[in-house]
Amino acid sequence: MTGAPATDDDTDDGRRDGGPRGRTVAWFHCFAGIAGDMALGSLIDAGAEFDEVMRLLERLPLGGWALERESVLRGGIAGTRAVVTVTDSVVVRTHAHIVGLIEEARLPRRVTHRALATFAALAEVEGRLHQRPVDQVHFHEVGGHDAVIDIVGTAAALEVLGVDEVEASPVATGMGMVRAAHGMLPNPAPAVVALLEGIPTWGRDIPLELTTPTGAALLAALATGFGPMPAMRVTSSGFGAGTRDLDDLPNLTQVVIGVRADRTTGVALSRLRGVDETSAGGVGRGSGGASAVVDGEAAVEVAHATTGHPDADAGQPVTLLEANVDDATGEQLAHAVGALLDAGAHDAWLSPVVMKKGRPGTVVHVLCDPSAARELRAVLRAETGSLGVRATAMERWTAARTFDAIEMDGGLIRIKVSPGRVKAEHDDVARAARRSGQPLREVAFRAEAAWRRQHSGAGPTPDPGVETTD
């Protein structure tokens, strides 16, 4: 398969043709572990256009490296080895330095997010192991040119292939000892063990570092699920090769690319089943958004009617983070909620509880994408001072929605539209109420009624018991 070229104006979901499609997933089979070069090699082998990956990597303000692909056999299976050669001797960088390199490259948004999330996972673990603040962490092996190219290259290859989600099998590790910048370390290395916390893993009786910190970080940061290959319609697959050819095991990481589908019928599960595509685009104009919502809901009904299988109604994977706090003020807790939302949480809220010894306390809840859990966990600890955070894997089903806006009282008021509901954006309504001196509730009713008049038939009819005025 040849990947679609990544463009500067790409969207978060990799869809560049403007039309709906199934949700693309990449499943990494880590039967012989995973390393950064093996992940990158497997994606190139699966069809990520090499020139497109290189075009993105060349945006990095980083010289002294070259990337080549090499076709090899490992255990009689053909695969691709991604080979990074380095002429620059700089191998130690701080986390802040690497963040600067990636942000300066002006990569597509999702490539940047995935690369930064991977290095953030590494920094958090290295900081914990060496008792350093994250911004003072010095990367040794994982800060060299090859590791930067492997991580950013993997994120770029995922984008070129249009991958929306990453999943993986349980992860194999080796045993014995390995040599690192800090000397001899047990295998799997402490950083690998820490990165694999919460991830199913198992050991092979092979004295080789099957899973490296870079490979473990890619899974810890990007994978939303672990287990057997998910139900999908396979579109391509590939193998990424490790450096050595082992006697009893193909030294490969396999990747399978496909569109999520019902396991019994093969019907693709539409991307529109969750948040509608148009909801990420900010404020829309005209009536096209309403029809998109209707089309999305119809697609869901068709999928449910034709499949009837529980997988057809699989929700969006999310992680619920929680921390109990009994020594923070209301102002501090409110600030923590705001900081969590600013850091990318889907939602954050507070619940009062009675803790041990009858002390009143608060539970801080954070709902987030699994790939953002590590970063938000750090924010939650920093903002609340909690000594512990717990996590629960969950699913959510979000209604399709779109955004529109109307002009009223000399200002713009955004309107959120979902099946059976029209709601004016609170912050815009509050500003309009302050300008006009009218009650906030009345301004909201007027805005929603004005939208309904402009889009006759596109939204629910006003409650006859509510009086709205012009």
Distance, first Cα to last Cα, the chain = 57
Cis peptide preceding 188, ω within 30 of 0: yes
For the beta carbon of residue 406, count every other beta carbon within 10 angstroms.
19
Question: Bridge partners of 33?
Answer: 31
Whether residue 92 is found in the same domain as residue 132: yes
Q: Is residue 161 part of a domain?
A: yes
Residue 46, domain extent: 24-257
HEC string for 275-312: CCHHHHHCCCCCCHHHHHHHHHHHHHHHHHHHHCCHHH
Ranges of H-type helices in 385-469: 426-436, 440-454
Rounded Cα gap, residues 386 and 382, in angstroms? 8
Look at 372 and 112; give whichever has higher pLDDT: 112
Whether residue 241 is found in the same domain as residue 126: yes
Pair 189, 10: CB distance under 8 Å: no
Whether residue 299 is found in the same domain as residue 378: no
Rounded Cα gap, residues 339 and 332, in angstroms? 10
Whether residue 280 is found in the same domain as residue 322: no
Angle of CA points 143, 145, 147, to nearest 5°: 60
Q: What is the number of domains present in the chain?
A: 3
CA atoms within 13 A on the CB side of 307: 22
Q: Is residue 5 part of a domain?
A: no
Segment (H or E) for 99 = helix 95-104
Query: Which range has the worst mean pLDDT, 8-12, 323-327, 351-355?
Result: 8-12
Look at 265 and 383; give whichever has higher pLDDT: 383
Angle of CA points 376, 379, 385, to nearest 5°: 135
Whether residue 251 is found in the same domain as residue 376: no
pLDDT in tens, 189-214: 889 999 999 899 999 999 999 999 99
Scored b (16 or more CB within 10 A) or e, 199-227 reads eebeebebebbbbbbbbbbbbbbbbbebe
Q: Is residue 439 part of a domain?
A: yes
Give me the numbers of helices (H) and strands (E) for the chain, helices first please: 12, 20
Look at 265 and 418; give whichever has higher pLDDT: 418
Q: Is residue 328 part of a domain?
A: yes
CATH of the domain at 379: 3.30.70.1380
Strands of the 390-396 sheet, one edge to the other? 347-354, 360-368, 316-325, 390-396
pLDDT in tens, 76-128: 899 999 999 887 655 567 788 888 889 999 999 999 999 999 988 888 887 77
Rounded Cα gap, residues 124 and 379, in angstroms? 11
Whether residue 218 is found in the same domain as residue 97: yes
The pairing of beta strand 183-186 with beta strand 93-94: unpaired
215-228 average pLDDT score:
93
3-state secondary structure of 414: strand
pLDDT in tens, 124-168: 887 776 666 555 555 644 446 788 999 999 999 999 999 999 999
Whether residue 181 is found in the same domain as residue 200: yes
Tell me: pLDDT of 306 over 70: no
Rounded Cα gap, residues 226 and 244, in angstroms? 26
Q: Is residue 250 part of a domain?
A: yes
Pair 32, 253: CB distance under 8 Å: yes
What is the dihedral sign for C-alpha 311, 395, 159, 40?
Answer: negative
Rounded Cα gap, residues 352 and 361, in angstroms? 6
Whether residue 98 is found in the same domain as residue 38: yes
User: At residue 320, what is the residue type?
Assistant: L
Whether residue 382 is found in the same domain as residue 421: no
Q: Is residue 13 part of a domain?
A: no
Q: Is residue 460 part of a domain?
A: no
Whether residue 290 is found in the same domain as residue 217: no
pLDDT score, position 185:
84
Rounded Cα gap, residues 352 and 359, in angstroms? 11
pTM, two decimal places: 0.57
pLDDT score, position 220:
93
Report how far apart, in Å, the C-alpha atoms of 378 and of each of 170, 366, 447 are. Answer: 25, 12, 40
Whether residue 138 is found in the same domain as residue 253: yes
The pairing of beta strand 165-168 with beta strand 223-226: parallel
Whether residue 295 is found in the same domain as residue 320: no
Q: Is residue 353 part of a domain?
A: yes
Q: Which two tokens stand for residue 260?
A: 């999520």
CATH of the domain at 406: 3.10.20
